[in-house]
Amino acid sequence: MDISTVIGLVVAMVAIIGSILAGGSLMIFVDVPSVLVVGLGLIGTTFIKWPMESVKSIVQIGLKSIFATPADAKQVILKIKDLAELARRESVFALEKAEIDDPFMKKAMTLAADNRPPEVIAAILQMDIDSMEARHTTGADIFGGMAEDGPAMGMIGTLIGLVQMLQNLSDPSAIGPAMAVALLTTFYGAIIANVFCNPIKNKIKFRSADELTAMNIVVAGTLGIVAGENPRMIIEKLSSFLPPAERNIGEEGGGE
């Protein structure tokens, strides 16, 4: 679980809800028509902007950015080390039966066990990497688009409320509450954009870079295993993907 996303969402919601409760009831900030105009409007514009299949994937991408454990390059390298030692001890064919959680690494090892030529393995895995990157880029773009459309639908909702209020000023005591309700859609739009969509877009971009590193490690490691390289050598090479402070994986200094 990506603990910083969860902490961030909780802290931001506590700040906003706490600030509301400090001044009165939470209920005056809930208005069903206002929720509908912003929510449905945002769904509508998102459907216009993107093809069906992209829209469908957005919930999954959003949840993943919140709950998925981020790829840990160090763990990936250690797992590759185990697999390289297994391939050395037994043979490349033993990789077929190795227990591997990550489907991409599983696929890479199956290809290795199938004795495919290295350039074929690299090409097939690269397609998966490209596809992951395209999916994440579209995901980040969709969240970025919603961060623009949320406040836009909020403003449209507020304009509707203002026009209706201004057309009916006969009861002065109704003006305040009517304006309050009109402002709610702007409030919803601001929260959608600034607390959810923009931050999640940023996290998706960051995660995509992490995942790319992890996948590149798997590709480099698999090619090393297929080439029958020494596991120690493989690990040393892979550790160049890590930030300097974490490179002491093999318990040896970064020798030549």
Interface of this chain with its own copies, residues 208 to 247, rule: CB under 8 A:
210, 240, 243-245
Q: Applying CB under 8 A, which of residues 85, 128, 133, 236 lies at the interface with its own copies?
A: 128
Site for its own copies in 131-150 (CB under 8 A): 131, 134, 145, 148-149
Residue 71 CB, shortest distance to its own copies, in Å, is 11
Residue 169 CB, shortest distance to its own copies, in Å, is 4
Q: Applying CB under 8 A, which of residues 71, 146, 193, 225 lies at the interface with its own copies?
A: 193
Residue 82 CB, shortest distance to its own copies, in Å, is 25
Residue 124 CB, shortest distance to its own copies, in Å, is 7
118, containing H or E segment? helix 118-166
For residue 132, how many C-alpha atoms fall within 13 Å in the half-sphere facing its CB?
Answer: 20
Q: Applying CB under 8 A, which of residues 163, 227, 230, 252 lies at the interface with its own copies?
A: 163
Based on the shown chain and the rule CB under 8 A, indicate whether residue 60 belongs to the binding site for its own copies: no
Site for its own copies in 67-126 (CB under 8 A): 70, 116-117, 120, 124
Spatial neighbors of 135 by CB under 8 A, at least 6 apart, are 57, 61
Q: Applying CB under 8 A, which of residues 71, 77, 108, 153 lies at the interface with its own copies?
A: 153
Q: What does the block give as tokens for 243? A: 């930030």
Spatial neighbors of 219 by CB under 8 A, at least 6 apart, are 108, 121, 122, 125, 126, 129
Using an 8 Å Cβ cutoff, are 149 and 198 in contact?
A: no
Compute CA distances 79 → 85, 217, 237, whole Å. 10, 11, 14
Residue 123 CB, shortest distance to its own copies, in Å, is 9
Binding mask 6-25 for its own copies (x = CB under 8 A): -xxxxxxxxxx-xxx-xxx-
Q: Applying CB under 8 A, which of residues 177, 227, 230, 252 lies at the interface with its own copies?
A: 177
Using an 8 Å Cβ cutoff, are 46 and 57 in contact?
A: no
Residue 15 CB, shortest distance to its own copies, in Å, is 3
Query: Three-class SS of residue 194?
Result: helix
Using an 8 Å Cβ cutoff, are 94 and 87 in contact?
A: yes
82 vs 115 by CB, closer to its own copies: 115
Using an 8 Å Cβ cutoff, are 98 and 85 in contact?
A: no
Stretch of residues binding its own copies (CB under 8 A), selected from 43-51, 74-82, 91-99, 221-229: 43-51
82 vs 127 by CB, closer to its own copies: 127
Q: Applying CB under 8 A, which of residues 58, 68, 78, 152 lies at the interface with its own copies?
A: 152
Distance CA 225, CA 91 (A): 10
Per-state percent for the chain, helix, strand, coil, to nearest 5: 80, 0, 20
